[in-house]
Amino acid sequence: MNIYTTIIEVSTRKTRELVDITERANEQVRRSGVKAGLCSLYAQGATAALMVQENADPNITLDVLDALEKLVPSGVWRHDRIDNNGAAHIQAGIVGPSETIPIREGHLALSTWQNIFFCDFDGPRQSRRVLVTIIGS
């Protein structure tokens, strides 16, 4: 059983943005040498999250952001009195900070339409971190 850990750095340019990190995660799986196991990804930051979602249609990521904004609108939360990002905290909590994906034959076992997205709900940020832990053989 091998354990491999690393960090994926992500920068964002918008206040709310989904960034595809699939290829960067797959590259870490290749570097780990693990052929069968699990890849655990964890977004550091209380206003960041991770999501497995379609990437073939770029409108999907926009629809996700629109849905979260309708569900949790900006500017109406008690926390906004502190630093005006109450919605970002709630949206990140709903989506969640982590994803675990099986590794099969040395690659992430995502379907054709699945990609891994880093979700920044309080950007833009020069540097966000995704902790990667790969376990397997």
What is the number of domains present in the chain? Answer: 1
Residues in the chain predicted with pLDDT less than 50, given as ranges, are: none
Contact 51, 134 (CB under 8 A): no
pLDDT, one tens digit per residue, over 24-57 is 999 999 999 999 999 999 999 999 999 999 989 9
Q: What is the pLDDT of residue 118?
A: 98
Q: What is the pLDDT of residue 60?
A: 96
Number of Cα atoms under 13 Å in the Cβ half of residue 41: 30
Q: What is the pLDDT of residue 16?
A: 98
CATH number of the domain that 44 lies in? 2.60.120.460
**What are the angstrom distances between the C-alpha of 127 and each of 21, 48, 120?**
14, 12, 11
Rounded Cα gap, residues 82 and 77, in angstroms = 10
3-state secondary structure 68-122: HHHHCCCCCCCCHHHHCCHHHHHHHHHHCCEEEEEEECCEECCCCCCEEEEEECC
Q: What is the domain range of residue 18?
A: 2-136
Rounded Cα gap, residues 96 and 89, in angstroms = 10
